[in-house]
Amino acid sequence: MMIKRTMSIFGWAGLVLIALGLLFNGSPDIAANTQPPATTEVKIDNFSFTPVTLTVTAGTTVTWTNRDDIPHTVVSTDDPKTFKSKVMDTDENFSFTFTKPGTYAYFCSVHPKMTGTVVVK
Report pLDDT for 27: 46
Tell me, what amino acid is at 88?
Answer: M
| 98-115 residues labelled b (16+ CB within 10 A) or e (exposed) | beeeeebebbbeebeebe
Q: Following DSSP, what letter does each residue of 47-111 receive, concatenated?
A: TEEESSEEEE-TTEEEEEEE-SSS-B--EESSSS-S-BPPPB-TT-EEEEEE-S-EEEEEE-SSS
CA-atom Rg of the chain in angstroms = 27
Higher pLDDT, 20 or 77: 77
Distances (CA, A) of 10 to 6, 7, 74, 88: 6, 5, 66, 69
pTM: 0.71
Q: Are 65 and 41 in contact (CB under 8 A)?
A: yes
Report pLDDT for 38: 84
Arithmetic mean of pLDDT over the chain:
84
Q: What is the pLDDT of residues 16-51, one digit of tens each?
A: 555 555 555 554 444 445 666 688 999 999 999 999
Q: Is 74's pLDDT higher than 70?
A: yes
Nearest to 40 by CA among 85, 97, 81: 97
Report pLDDT for 8: 55
Q: Is 6's pLDDT higher than 50?
A: no
Report pLDDT for 39: 87
Q: Is 11's pLDDT higher than 90?
A: no
Report pLDDT for 21: 55
